[in-house]
Structures are given as C-alpha cells and as structure tokens.
Amino acid sequence: MTSIRSIALGAVSVLALSATSALADGEVNIYSYRQPELIQPLMDAFTKETGIKTNVLFLDKGLVERITAEGANSPADVILTVDIARLTEAKDGGVTQPLNDEDINKQIPAQYRDTDGNWFGLTTRGRVLYASKDRVSEDAITYEELADPKWKGRICMRDGQHSYNIGLFASMVAHHGAEYTEKWLAGLKQNLVKKPDGNDRAQAKAIYAGECDLGLANTYYLGLMQTNEKEPEEKEWAKSVKVLFPNAADRGTHVNISGMALAKNSPNKDNAVKLMEFLASDEAQTIYAEQVFEYPVGPNAKASEIVAGFGAIKPDTLPLTDIAANRKVASELVDKVGLNEGPTQ
C-alpha cells in the first residue's frame, strides 16, 4: 500500500499522510513549514543511518489547525518550523507534547528550548543590518542607534508587522520596556526612506539601487542571494552590502530559530524521538545549517563557509520565551506609532 499520496493545498503541492501509513513500522511522519528540498538531505541522512523512512508533509500555513482537526488520529509525529512564534503557537495550540530527552537537552542550549520541553531550536538566524559597502563607513551599530536622526532617510525595511520584525521589536520591549520601545519605534519610523515594503531580499536590492543605506534583514537571505543561479542579479545585490551585527559589543544580536517539536498524538513516537535526537546531533545540525544558511545551535556543530563569511555572531542571551511573551505588545506598538505608514514630513 502506498504510504503517501500527492494532494494540493492551495497553490502548494504537498504530501498527504494516510492514517494507514502513520501506523506502519519503520516510518516517521513530519509536518513541516520548511520547504521539502531544504530538509531532504537531513531526511536522507537519517534514513541511511537508521533505516527509518521519512514522510514529509509541507504546509505554508495552517499547520496547527490541520493537526487540531485531525485530532487523536493525526499521523503527525514531528513538527518542523521556522520561527519562535510558530513554535509557541504549536505549544499554545495544544498540538505538541513535552519531551525530556537527555541527548537532546545536552545538544540544545537552554535558551533555545522550551522550559517544558515542548519545542527545541536547531538553527539560528540573526536579525541584522545590511549596510551599503560604499555609503556606510560604520562597522558596528546597535539597534538603539536606528532611532538616531543621523540615519534619517537612510533606512529601509519590510512590513513592521512581519513576524521577523515583531520578534526584534519584542526583544526591545523585553530589554527596555514598552515606553522606551514606543519612542524608539517612532524614531525608527522617521528614519525610514519610505513605507516598509517588500521582503528581506528587497532591502538588499534597494541598497544596491541607492534607495537606502541600511536595511533590516535576516542573515540567511544573504546566502540565498549569493548562491542564486536562477536570478544572478541577486548576486549583485549581495555584493553591494556588508553585514552589521547589532549590539555585538554588549548584549548581542537578536536571533530567531528554526526548530522541532514532538506532535501530541504521535503514532510513531519511538521513531519520532529517534529523528529528533538525530536532528539535534552535530552531524545533522551541520547539514541543516549548510542547507538553510543559518547558524547551528549545537556547541560542536559547524557553520558553513558561506555563513562564516557573514561574520561571527554573538547571539542575544535573552530567552526566546521572553521574546515570545512580548510579541503582542510589540505588534500593538507598531500600530500605535504608525510604523507602516512610513516617515511623516
């Protein structure tokens, strides 16, 4: 019997897992927010090492809702996702279960795992500044400085309500409080060259075009642009910028994570735990980090040559759970100051 079948979810082609396949021996079912081609080398390595077959269901949205609707008969064993917000969403949505595993806990630093064991980080990406090599002489910066009038008309960014930016703003709330962050956001707004728009790559494009000098972006997009053979113009965007790691001299740069969780009703729990232990290993983290141009969280896993080329990152040691707890306040402040309206005259 075929264990997986192709279906369409909106415009996204995914693999649907039948209840029959979920109970088969020697298999593990992964529900993933991460693109299948990015995690396939990991799945191949796991199968080669253990003989356990992996079935991947890719969703671009609605993962928690789907698992909830499937209920006790859900075939999901392991959840893979790309953001602390989605990991906490899965926990708060009741679709994960706690796991206290000595091997995983040894590999994943405490700041990158849930205190209750409901999720674990695997790789990190910094929320950094892309800076024009030609027009920005500074080699160091802080997030706080982004509200300094010296940057007026020189900063560009994507939607202030995007999850990546909300995470950064939530970290500012955690460090400085809501009152300070509101004033800081108002200052950042006035330093924007235009209304927030585009994605992180678009900020590099804008710097290349001379529209702005600084752009908020995630580190891994630089790797994606540097290696984009289908759209070689992105390589030129990447060449025009350098990476500034904010607050490297003090508390460290804000990071987000990709991570994993054990599904609440995992029908193949033993295999799920084996996969999670494998994903936490130095070998797997090295493979994963190289595929997605992120920094591994394991103490002995190595960043790829491309990622190392971005520069050394000193992550903010603030627990990600503290950041997640301030996301709602951060979102409200973005609206309160009208960040997405752009600078006022």
Give the 3-state secondary structure of residue 294. Answer: coil
Determine phi and psi for 263, rounding to 5 degrees. -65, 145
End-to-end CA distance of the chain: 66
Query: Which residues, in sequence order, are bridge partners of residue 130?
Result: 215, 243
The answer to whether the annotation marks 221 as part of a ligand binding site is: yes
Within 10 Å of residue 305's Cβ, how many Cβ atoms?
Answer: 8
- Residue 141, amino acid: I
Let me know how long the chain is. 345
- Beta-carbon contacts of 75 under 8 Å, excluding residues fewer than 6 positions away, are 17, 18, 19, 21, 22, 29, 267
155-156/214-218 β-pairing? parallel
DSSP string spanning 148-199? SGGGTT-EE-S-TTSHHHHHHHHHHHHHH-HHHHHHHHHHHHHHBSS---S-
Largest CA distance in the chain: 66
Nearest to 275 by CA among 56, 13, 23: 56
The answer to whether 297 and 131 are in contact (CB under 8 A) is no
Q: Record the tokens describing residue 175, joined without a space.
A: 């460090």
The answer to whether 18 and 3 are in contact (CB under 8 A) is yes
Mark the binding-site residues for Fe cation, compressed into ranges: 220-221
Mark the binding-site residues, compressed into ranges: 220-221
